[in-house]
Amino acid sequence: NAGVTQTPKFQVLKTGQSMTLQCAQDMNHEYMSWYRQDPGMGLRLIHYSVGAGITDQGEVPNGYNVSRSTTEDFPLRLLSAAPSQTSVYFCASMMTGDHEQYFGPGTRLTVT
């Protein structure tokens, strides 16, 4: 049982490049979320999903897309990277009716 896995762990992009951050969980959790964490701040919700085929926007969705074709996977796409998207990205999952979110180890993204 690997929990929540994220790849890559580190990534450097140039402004305007696109990429996909991968997130997978093997706990059969319905809820999955993407957060970004900037220095000195808590986590801000980017997008979330309450089940396969269902996604919704969080607090800071601009510049990011998500899809949820399976229960296990919830990739986050950066369409055209900007320096303001330099951050640490965390994926989390949670079982329906539960309160605890399980977090992945994070992806540290730098956009130059």
Partner 1 sequence: TQLLEQSPQFLSIQEGENLTVYCNSSSVFSSLQWYRQEPGEGPVLLVTVVTGGEVKKLKRLTFQFGDARKDSSLHITAAQTGDTGLYLCAGRSNTNAGKSTFGDGTTLTVKP
Single out the residue of 88, 8, 98, 93 nearest to residue 49, CA to CA.
93
Q: How far is the CB of 50 from partner 1 (least distance, A)?
A: 5
The stretch among 11-19, 50-58, 67-75, 78-86 that binds partner 1 (CB under 8 A) is 50-58
Single out the residue of 8, 15, 50, 5 nearest to residue 29, CA to CA.
50
DSSP 67-89: --SSSSB--EEESS--GGG-EEE
- Compare residues 31 and 64 and give the one whose CB is closer to partner 1: 31
Query: What residue type is 53 in one-letter code?
Result: G
Interaction between residue 107 and partner 1 (CB under 8 A): no
Interaction between residue 95 and partner 1 (CB under 8 A): no
Task: Give, in order, the Cα–Cα distances in Å from 88 to each of 9, 11, 26, 70.
Answer: 10, 10, 22, 24
- Compare residues 77 and 103 and give the one whose CB is closer to partner 1: 103
- Residues between 64 and 93 with contacts to partner 1, criterion CB under 8 A: 90, 92
Q: Please select the residue that binds partner 1; options are 31, 34, 64, 74, rule is CB under 8 A.
A: 31
CB 81 within 8 A of CB 19: yes
**Interacting residues toward partner 1 by CB under 8 A:** 4, 31, 33, 35, 40-45, 48-50, 56, 58-59, 90, 92, 99-101, 103-106
